[in-house]
Amino acid sequence: MDPIIDTGQLVPVPRDHSDNTHIVRRDDLKIGLISVRPHEELPVHAHEHEDQFYYVLEGESIVSWGGRDYPLKPGTAALISPGVPHGVRNPHDTPLRYLDVFINWRK
């Protein structure tokens, strides 16, 4: 794999609630750009063996983490430990875009 990745050349994968652009996909590391459509949400779920990190680039949202809600806006981040239930809601009229990083420590 080249060390330089032109994310503008990557094709987003449409999901029910978002468009996901996979930048790096390995067993131990996943990095993607996520665009949550206006008034959509990623349901609450958990990852048993992965840390997950969100870094908001555009838009605002609410992240549910461990049963509590927290606002996210550009420049804020969330670190979600393995096993912690979490989800993302975009209640606004504009898309939410964030960098999504998974680290699997149990490779």
- 32-83 pLDDT, tens digit per residue, is 999 999 999 999 999 999 999 999 999 999 999 988 999 999 999 999 999 9
Which pair of tokens denotes residue 67? Answer: 């049963």
Residue 105 DSSP code: S
Residue 2 confidence class, pLDDT cut points 50, 70, 90: confident
Judge contact between 90 and 39, C-beta under 8 A. yes
